[in-house]
Structure 1
């Protein structure tokens, strides 16, 4: 008989909500966390080799659309909280729901494989450095995918200081008056470019393809709060409306030295940064095309431009890799789309769940909570996944929320509101009606003080 012992890997935001739902449903759960705090990447760590926020990181989705729906962020938090505030929030969340007692800190999972008919053997290094093995009935993988950096390669060799955004913790005196190149144009690349430009001579930002850059506030409201008001509109109308709005606010990208984007907004993952455009026009950041080659300190771009750089930071993303799985068992690394039903259920393993392994146009956390609810309901026999999982997964892969571009950058992309409705529909099959979150209702924050 199958038991209800659950292993949750990771105590970041997705891991603690997975554990919370297990506890609420009476499941026997243990969480393995390789660090000494909950919060995952949001726990600042000055050591390199550990994926964490850098010193001045702020959230890029608003608190209203980022908080767990059963645990609002306090009214004292700004629209876009800092990593310190968020780490306190996650700590309070875990404490409030009894998750902390279930977490084994400084325990690193190094192996996970099926055992017997309906179990998983989990190999881990405990906080004394001892390797151990425990067997569980179910596994919830909740450690995200920001673990194995993607490094760009070009002809030649670069001899200056080179780092990936994975190891960027902030700008110190060693950056002062240096010539810096940031590779990439996503959220991390723009944040690092702005941060570095406050101390360096000039930051050049190299991008392979045009991007959409959105301000964090639109007409005085957080961008996602403003956008949520139009979620009922047809997809194309939303996209054309957003395109016109960005053009109205920012003007043509050519005025900033940026390539014009010929795709519609939301067909590529948007970049949110309210400082980038100003810093470009201030002359602190200079957009550049893709890199062609490098030689010593000299980097040549595809337009023929050559320039020397002291520091190069590659904000070029991560591989979707889970080192504790054998590649013959689970291998998503080279895939342009991740073949999981509702981004969480594997076709071959009914006792394995991925919680939070998606990239929304919005925030992961509240939807990871929905996924965890669904997983627990299936464990308890209250929800039944599609009988033909192969067909169900294939249908999802062929019917994406937007016309996301090809390649691994959009392998996990979803639209927040569309995906939320999809998960609500699945939960309703199990008799759980989520309803509407009280977005924009100030009463939800009144006297809320569980975060300290």
Structure 2
């Protein structure tokens, strides 16, 4: 009987467990370092592994974010809150009987490959166990990436957006948010409700996409353009944004000179509103910091009480030796289908990608393929190394060069590629049609 280790019981970890059980595999142990499932979606008012804050709602719509065999309740809004999402994941784990396979409060200290393509797992308490397969689903939004130089030079309060939990502590302060991604825009909008002055600094152009278009969640329109030729689809996306938003320069922000899907978009309906109402002030890139004074590239100098760096996250696999696998500073991650390592056929990553939408529906597909591979219904391609390199090159071509894009994927294209590989005889469970709030 094949013995399988899963690291992490977040959204990708629980769907990994579900798919392993669905494929008839039961010798499974899932290690979770926290005391409950949910990973990043377990909100805490104190600093923790989670990056969600008090007011976080998902940026992909309900219909584009639910598991295919476990729909969200009909009563859920188009963009559920973090607590609604956690309830959804808890119900998923209960429905599919996942809890007996999870060991909570158990940290994986070390994962080492040993003879026979097996894995020696060392736990936080020193215990060791051996497995035939290792599935890594530990997420990639828990280790902040800090700016290299200026934080130490700032005399005020400095924090990463990962540590931001609520707006109240910033009441009546002058606050600068560095970075206009999803976290940065959320921080700027929420803090502007209580602070005396809020600015947002961005080095380069960024598409800021409203959450609704023609009364429907914006992400649902991408699915309607799958069969439209790419150049026409790109033109229509840009046209729709011009109609909704106008020029970003009208808001004091740089105008993007690249297609909408060339970079990870920021989905936010309030930032532009706040800018035009004088509640959030756009600033150019940050040059240097002296005490509480911040210098920007256009010559503007201002003093701030707090700086929040919304500068992204590192890919962290602390249980691997640095000379074994280390993607922390990688510009490219050569994995076939963003999951299969070319040199380690018994190692599979689940959820190590960044779609322009929710992660877990595509983690579900990855996990289904992984489970059927372990069960013997699917065979790894012989040219695995070539395919892994091809996937990494595809990412490099499709997206702007940046560490935040090293694992980016086009959601619908990625879904198609995964579904093509899932064997036709893959076991399925009946669709769960829950229509009430959990």
Q: TM-score range by the shorter chain?
A: over 0.9
- Structure 1 distance, partners of 2:392, 2:319, is 26
Shift of 1:368: 0.4
Shift of 1:43: 0.6
Report the 3-state secondary structure (helix = DSSP H, G, I; strand = E; otherwise coil) of the residue aligned with 1:121.
Answer: strand
The aligned residue for residue 410 of structure 2 is: 415
The aligned residue for residue 171 of structure 1 is: 167
Report the 3-state secondary structure (helix = DSSP H, G, I; strand = E; otherwise coil) of the residue aligned with 2:63.
Answer: helix
The aligned residue for residue 441 of structure 1 is: none
With over 3 angstroms needed to count, the CA separation of the structure-2 counterparts of 1:226 and 1:144, relative to structure 1, is same
| Alignment of structure 1 residues 80-95 onto 2, 5 Å | 80-95=79-94
Q: Deviations over 1:32-74 (max 9, x none)?
A: 1111111110010122142331111001001101000000001
| Alignment of structure 1 residues 139-218 onto 2, 5 Å | 139-154=134-149, 157-172=153-168, 174-218=169-213
The aligned residue for residue 282 of structure 1 is: 277
**Contact 2:343–2:385 (CA under 8 A) maintained in structure 1:** no
Between Structure 1 and Structure 2, the one with more strand by share is 1
Structure 2's unaligned 5+ residue stretches are none
Report the 3-state secondary structure (helix = DSSP H, G, I; strand = E; otherwise coil) of the residue aligned with 1:341.
Answer: coil
How many residue pairs were aligned? 434
Deviates most, 333-342 or 178-187: 333-342
Shift of 1:154: 3.5
Shift of 1:147: 2.4
**Contact 2:172–2:194 (CA under 8 A) maintained in structure 1:** yes
- Structure 2 distance, partners of 1:353, 1:409, is 21
- Structure 1 distance, partners of 2:357, 2:140, is 17
- Structure 2 distance, partners of 1:83, 1:306, is 37
**Contact 2:396–2:406 (CA under 8 A) maintained in structure 1:** no
Shift of 1:408: 0.8
Report the 3-state secondary structure (helix = DSSP H, G, I; strand = E; otherwise coil) of the residue aligned with 2:219.
Answer: helix
**Contact 1:267–1:402 (CA under 8 A) maintained in structure 2:** no
**Contact 2:157–2:306 (CA under 8 A) maintained in structure 1:** yes
Question: Is 1:346 equivalent to 2:348 in the alignment?
Answer: no
Shift of 1:411: 0.4
| Alignment of structure 1 residues 26-105 onto 2, 5 Å | 26-27=24-25, 28-105=27-104
**Contact 1:154–1:291 (CA under 8 A) maintained in structure 2:** no
- Structure 1 distance, partners of 2:398, 2:281, is 30
Shift of 1:168: 1.0
Report the 3-state secondary structure (helix = DSSP H, G, I; strand = E; otherwise coil) of the residue aligned with 1:44.
Answer: coil
- Structure 2 distance, partners of 1:250, 1:303, is 25
Shift of 1:219: 0.4
With over 3 angstroms needed to count, the CA separation of the structure-2 counterparts of 1:49 and 1:43, relative to structure 1, is closer
The aligned residue for residue 255 of structure 2 is: 260
2:18 to 17, 20, 26: 20
- Structure 2 distance, partners of 1:400, 1:161, is 37
- Structure 1 distance, partners of 2:396, 2:230, is 9
Shift of 1:432: 4.2
- Structure 2 distance, partners of 1:349, 1:401, is 23
The aligned residue for residue 301 of structure 2 is: 306
The aligned residue for residue 131 of structure 1 is: 126
Shift of 1:238: 1.3
- Structure 1 distance, partners of 2:3, 2:46, is 34
Question: Is 1:241 equivalent to 2:236 in the alignment?
Answer: yes
TM-score (norm 2): 0.96
**Contact 2:176–2:304 (CA under 8 A) maintained in structure 1:** yes
**Contact 1:50–1:167 (CA under 8 A) maintained in structure 2:** no
Q: Deviations over 1:356-395 (max 9, x none)?
A: 1100112111110110111111111111111021111122
The aligned residue for residue 5 of structure 2 is: 7
Structure 1's unaligned 5+ residue stretches are 439-443
Shift of 1:171: 1.4
Shift of 1:237: 1.6
With over 3 angstroms needed to count, the CA separation of the structure-2 counterparts of 1:236 and 1:320, relative to structure 1, is same
- Structure 2 distance, partners of 1:102, 1:79, is 32
The root-mean-square deviation of aligned C-alpha atoms, in Å, is 1.7
Deviates most, 41-50 or 414-423: 41-50
Shift of 1:226: 2.2
Report the 3-state secondary structure (helix = DSSP H, G, I; strand = E; otherwise coil) of the residue aligned with 2:422.
Answer: helix
**Contact 1:158–1:297 (CA under 8 A) maintained in structure 2:** yes
Report the 3-state secondary structure (helix = DSSP H, G, I; strand = E; otherwise coil) of the residue aligned with 1:205.
Answer: strand
- Structure 1 distance, partners of 2:257, 2:427, is 40
The aligned residue for residue 391 of structure 1 is: 386
Deviates most, 265-274 or 403-412: 403-412
